[in-house]
Structure formats: structure tokens, C-alpha cells
Amino acid sequence: MKVSQKLSVNEVYNIILNNILSLENEIIDLKDSLKRIPSKKIYAKIDNPTFDKSAMDGYGYYDNGNNKFEILDDIVLAGDCKSDLNIPVNSCIRIMTGAMIPKSINRISKFESIKTLKENDKNYIFIKEIEKSNNIIERGSDLKASDLLLDIKPLEAEDISILASNGYSKIEVKKSPKVAIISTGNELVDISKKLELGKIYDSNSHLISNKLKSMNIDYNFYGITKDDYDALNSVVSNALQECDIILVSGGISFGDKDYSGEVFNDLKIKKLCHGVLMKPGKPFYFGIKENYNKAVFGIPGNPFAVLVSFENFIKPYIYNSMGYKYSNVFLKMPLFETYSRNKSNIEEYLPADFIYNENSTFVKLLSYKGSFYMPRDIKALMKIDIGINEIKAHENVKVKII
């Protein structure tokens, strides 16, 4: 089987995003919502804060220009409801951080800005310093009911805190697709087995599964499949019954034992692309099972090629299928050392780390001799566009933080 035409990375990206899955919504407990994606924008149900409250510990009073106030024998603590407490003119009351402000108070002076004194058996405060702020946080000063609370994006711990503070105990999200992971290759050995001569450990399933875990995506690992047509056909058939997205690593090129493309064709997968002008990852495959709402990805077996394929295509596909308009963002940053290559007719991705100094952050290429292993200390992918042979030191390069 031959590829009629290799498409650009951008062309493949557009094909993928034009064929995303259709996923239903579900309601889940807020405590289970980390990395889940809301089905719609979320709006505030209540004002935040819901009452006028003290910004600090101090004394509250009605500011009438006086600088001396009698201390009343009472205190307002956080959690107290004393909004109707009457504070006479020229009197004050102790009030703690976060406490509800009585209506008769319009200013709080922190302890450090006053001094206490006693006259005729009565205790007073004397205002040493008039602060610019009245130290009162007004109701709705952060958010008002019906304000936009959160946009559609994966929920982080901080987002969940915001939702909890607004009274959300449950949230409607997009259902997560279930992903099948299939590793292929006669050379592969599970990490629990003894490594024999000529064999290598399967690392791709661990890379993919942990990438999916970081997105809170469910997956099934179907084990290691030998380079055998019948075996692969059986595994992929089962995966299509049980999962929404099928990821097959290895066997997608054009060698004598590369059966993935043939299996996909015989299982009536509609091929939308097979081959991309990208290094590593040229044999990349994407297809759909029409009328079944299933997607199939074939990715090269080399670990770094798997990473590049996942970041460029699979992650955007999953997120967009879940309603999150995720796109690959490449920053422009200065390169630490000059880079050059012999051929510029392909879009190339290289492993990179960062070097920091007082004035700038530089992109540093990592030692790399091909996509057969995962480079250590990788923090980013450096993108070299078609037509570029050389990038000099301190010139800007495109990088995606991973």
C-alpha cells in the first residue's frame, strides 16, 4: 500500500478537526471534575462576596471626621451575622478579617493605625493614621450573580475552588471518550518480562496512557500485538466495539510486516490521511468509522514520533471533541545555539529544554540522534518550518511547551 500524497501538518490538523467525535453531556460531582470540560460556559449564581466584609482585623466605626471613638464591649467575628448591630456615633467595635460589616459602620482602621487610651474608666481608640482605603470589601466586588465565572476549558484545582465558592456541587460536562491503546511489534516486550537479545521494552503505551491520565481521559490498553494481520485485525475489531478512539502505535509504515493500514482498510475505516510532511511521524494515519462515531489513529512506533504525533494531532482531537477549542500554541523564544539542517523540505520537530539567565530565557536543543528513544529532560518541542535550513543563536524559534 502506497501513499498518494503527503499532506502538510496544517492540512492534516484541519482534516482532523473537521471530523471530531460527537459526545454527549453528563452531570458529575464537583469533586470528580478535575480536568473535565464543562459542556457550556458557567455563570455565577451568587454575588462574591455575598456581603460587605472586613478586609482585616481592626476597629469598625462610622467615619464622621472624628479621630477618637469609644470602644464598645462587643466583637464581630467571621461567620457572625450582625449586620443590624447598631454602633452609636463616635463609638467603635472590634471586627475580625472576613466578618460581616454592620450597616452602621463605613470604615475599619487596622490595629497598627490606632492607639488605645483610657479616660474616665472608658476605653477609646485614637486614629493615628487615616488610611486611603476604608478596608471594607463590598458585596459583589469580585463577581456579581450572572457574571461569567468560567469559560469552556479543562478544569484545574483553582477552577474547582471558584465553583465551590459559588455553590456548585455538581457540574455538567462533556463525556470523556474512551481511548484504546494498542502497541504493535514483534520486537516489543512488556516491562514485566525479561528482556531478550533483539527485543525492546514497550514504552509507547506508557507514554500515551500517562498523557491521557493527565487529561483525565479513560483508556483501555489492549496489550502488545505481534506483527501479524489476523492478530491485529482481531484486537482492532474488539477495540472498535468498546472504545471511541483507537490509537495504534507501530505497523503504519510500508514495510513487509506493517499491517495497520491494511487492517484499517479491511475494517471499513475511511482513510482521511496517511502521510504527513512532518519529521518525525511521516507515516501518520487518521481515519473514521462512518456512522459509528469512531476515530482511528495510526502513529509510528518510535517514542519521540509518538510524542510529536500526540501533541500535534491527538491531543487537539480529543479536546475539540469534548468542546474545548484547543489549538497548538507555539511561542517565539531565542535559540541558545545555532541550529542547521541539510534538508528543508519538511516540517521538523526537535526536543528542547530551556536555559534561564537574568535577562532572558533561551531554547536549548537536547542531544538527539533520531526518534528511536525519548530524549531526557524534554520540556518543549521546537518547530522548524519548511524552507528553513538554519537558525542562528539568539534568533527566535517556535516552541510548544509540553
Q: How confident is the model at residue 5 (pLDDT cuts 50, 70, 90)?
A: low
**Could you report the per-residue pLDDT of 42-78, keeping only the tens digit for each?**
999 999 999 999 999 999 999 999 999 999 999 999 9
**Could you report the per-residue pLDDT of 243-297, keeping only the tens digit for each?**
999 999 998 987 777 899 999 999 999 999 999 999 999 999 999 998 899 999 9
The hierarchical CATH code for the domain 9-24+175-322 is 3.40.980.10
Distance in angstroms (rounded) separating the CA atoms of residues 191 and 89 = 77
Residue 183 confidence (pLDDT)? 98
Residue 93 confidence (pLDDT)? 97
Distance in angstroms (rounded) separating the CA atoms of residues 213 and 209 = 6
Whether the per-residue pLDDT at 351 is higher than 50: the answer is yes
Residue 397 β-bridge partners = 333
Average pLDDT, integer, range 211-238: 97
Q: 235-239, 289-293, 383-387: lowest mean pLDDT where?
A: 289-293
User: Which residue, among 134, 136, 135, 160, has the nearest Cα to 36 in the 3D structure?
Assistant: 160
Average pLDDT, integer, range 21-50: 98
Average pLDDT, integer, range 361-389: 91
The hierarchical CATH code for the domain 53-137 is 2.170.190.11
Cell of 62: 462610622
pTM, entire model: 0.90
Whether the per-residue pLDDT at 4 is higher than 70: the answer is no
Q: Say which DSSP state 33 is in.
A: -
Distance in angstroms (rounded) separating the CA atoms of residues 159 and 138 = 23
Percent of the chain residues topping a pLDDT of 90: 92
Q: Could you please state the CATH topology (level 3) that the domain comprising 331-401 is classified under.
A: Beta-clip (2.40.340)
Q: Cα 369 to the chain's mean position, in Å?
A: 30
398 and 383 in contact (C-beta within 8 Å)?
A: yes
Domain edges within the chain: 9-24+175-322, 40-48+142-174, 53-137, 331-401
Distance in angstroms (rounded) separating the CA atoms of residues 94 and 111 = 10
Residue 401 confidence (pLDDT)? 97
Average pLDDT, integer, range 362-379: 87
Q: Say which DSSP state 386 is in.
A: T
- Between the CA of residue 304 and those of 175, 364, 389, what are the distances in Å? 29, 17, 22
Same fold? 9-24+175-322, 53-137: no
Q: How confident is the model at residue 372 (pLDDT cuts 50, 70, 90)?
A: confident
Per DSSP bridges, beta strands 68-76 and 91-95 are parallel
Q: How confident is the model at residue 3 (pLDDT cuts 50, 70, 90)?
A: very low
Residue 291 confidence (pLDDT)? 86
Q: What amino acid occupies position 158?
A: E
Residue 353 confidence (pLDDT)? 97
Whether the per-residue pLDDT at 370 is higher than 80: the answer is no
Q: How confident is the model at residue 99 (pLDDT cuts 50, 70, 90)?
A: very high
What is the three-class DSSP state of 129? coil
Dihedral of CA 344/350/355/356: which sign?
Answer: positive
Distance in angstroms (rounded) separating the CA atoms of residues 300 and 309 = 8
Average pLDDT, integer, range 195-202: 94
Q: How confident is the model at residue 306 (pLDDT cuts 50, 70, 90)?
A: very high
Residue 225 confidence (pLDDT)? 97
What is the three-class DSSP state of 339? strand
Average pLDDT, integer, range 22-28: 97
Residue 2 confidence (pLDDT)? 47
HSE (side-chain half, CA atoms, 13 Å) at 160: 17
- Between the CA of residue 370 and those of 217, 279, 366, 374, 375, what are the distances in Å? 29, 10, 11, 9, 10
**Could you report the per-residue pLDDT of 162-195, keeping only the tens digit for each?**
999 999 999 999 999 999 999 999 999 999 999 9
